[in-house]
Amino acid sequence: MAEALEFTDIQGIVTRGYAKLRAASYALLEITDVAATRTWLGALAGSITSTVNDPANVAQNIAFAPSALRKLGLAPEALAMFSAEFLDGMPSAHRGRLLGDLDDNAPEHWAWGGPTGAPVDLMLMLYARDEAGLAALAAAQASAFQGAGLRLTQTLATVDLGDVEHFGFHDGVSQPIIEGIPKAEPAANVIKAGEFLLGYRNEYGLYTARPLLPASADPTTMLPRDPAGSGAADLGRNGTYLVVRTLQQDVRGFRQFLERTSATLDSGGAEARLRLAAKLVGRWPSGAPLVKAPDRDDPALAAFNDFAYAKDDPDGLRCPIGAHIRRSHPRDSLDPSPGSDRSVAVDKRHRLIRRGREYGPPLPPDDSAGSADPGIADAERGLHFMAVNANISRQFEFIQHTWVNNPKFAGLYDDADPLLAAHTPAGGTFTIPAEPVRQRITGLPRFVTVRGGAYFFLPGLRAIRYLATMGS
């Protein structure tokens, strides 16, 4: 039986992508006066958007870096109960090797979140129906920062591309559903709440480790109590971890690669470029999956998500085994028993809820040769990738290291993710299974470069109020 979710205590971004709120920006903040920030945080808590309602005009959520929890006064023994990945931080040397954040992707080159950048204690996430509404919301918050002991170190802006990312593909397809949310969905896509929310049972039937405080630390019972029955105050319940990575996309390079490579593999031309792009991604630009539409795009299948790989395409003749969507969410194709419920159960333990937004102006369609206005053509563009997960190691980091960056994924020899992997200067490889002879692409360039990132704690609303009172 599904656990009842405490919707009034869960920040809205966990369960909603705010599709009606097309404008968004993310304020990165440094705490400079702890007492003033506590007062601001206490006032802000009443306006944080929960999952209860689908906001029509504006929404705001807030996430905390480990440094914010230390500054606000959380005891060291409580802080130590957060995950090691969160406390270690994304820019650490070990994480760099694990995530592929080396060379041009290395944190010392990042625009934010790296070792040489401004401190980031908090991220305030602002959403509005349109740009005018966002500007008003951001201005009101900026005014409040001035007396709240906060310094705005950077604003991460976004752009509304209408559910399409910069490479031209429908974005946001294939999101998991948290068990307990009343939405009809195939069983393979319904995931235990504890995979995305602390204080609930996960796919192993266990509670993910989280900060539990002695009841004496919460004498007024502001926090929920440990559902396992220990009597401890559960600072983590209804909270989660938020992974944020700013990923710059080389759209012109992507188009140029498609043009020259499709001419050697195929007849060249627009249709050949489209077929090659779809093979790299695993979906057509509309979102239609290659498994169900192998020969041409079918917009009628744009949101179709009820398919399997081992069952429908075991050899990758429709969707290549190394395609981006197949390796980031392998569905029923995983060992020990591809095509079975056991395989699906493994996949369920490595899912993410994605909440990213694009940034930067779109590159005009005819700019593969560099003919556009330089101010637009040379502008940075990409994705502020955001992912909700309760276990950073088993979810985000596992996917990134073991599936995305792994050249040996699913029996492949030297094929990392064609879109996201940090290919060497010599280029990566990509295999397209075919009968009678496969096609093998070499010299695959790097299309995505990491420009910033951090791990955050996204508390429940009661936990936000509790953090605001510490030290008082």
Q: Collect all residues with Cβ–Cβ distance below 8 Å to 195 and sequence separation of at least 6.
A: 176, 178, 202, 203, 348, 349, 351, 389, 390, 391, 395
Closest by CA position to 149, among listed 27, 44, 35: 35
- Per the CB < 8 A criterion, the answer to whether 234 and 212 are in contact is yes
Give yes or no for residue 370 having a pLDDT over 70.
Answer: no
Rounded distance, CA 192 to CA 312, Å?
A: 26
Q: Collect all residues with Cβ–Cβ distance below 8 Å to 58 and sequence separation of at least 6.
A: 21, 126, 127, 128, 129, 133, 137
| Average pLDDT score over the chain | 95
The per-residue pLDDT for range 70-118, each reduced to its tens digit, is 999 999 999 999 999 999 999 998 899 999 999 999 999 999 999 999 9
Q: Where does residue 426 rank: exposed (0-12), middle (13-18), buried (19+ CB within 10 A)?
A: exposed
Give yes or no for residue 461 having a pLDDT over 80.
Answer: yes
Give yes or no for residue 252 having a pLDDT over 80.
Answer: yes
Q: Give the residue carrying structure tokens 């959403």.
A: 127
Give yes or no for residue 280 having a pLDDT over 60.
Answer: yes
The per-residue pLDDT for range 30-73, each reduced to its tens digit, is 999 999 999 999 999 999 999 998 999 999 999 999 999 999 99
- Per the CB < 8 A criterion, the answer to whether 289 and 283 are in contact is yes
* Residue extents of the structural domains in the chain: 7-241+458-469, 246-453
Burial profile 263-284: b = 16 or more Cβ within 10 angstroms, e = fewer: eeeeeeeeebbbbbbbbbbbbb
Q: Where does residue 50 rank: exposed (0-12), middle (13-18), buried (19+ CB within 10 A)?
A: buried
Q: Where does residue 7 rank: exposed (0-12), middle (13-18), buried (19+ CB within 10 A)?
A: middle
- Per the CB < 8 A criterion, the answer to whether 290 and 324 are in contact is no
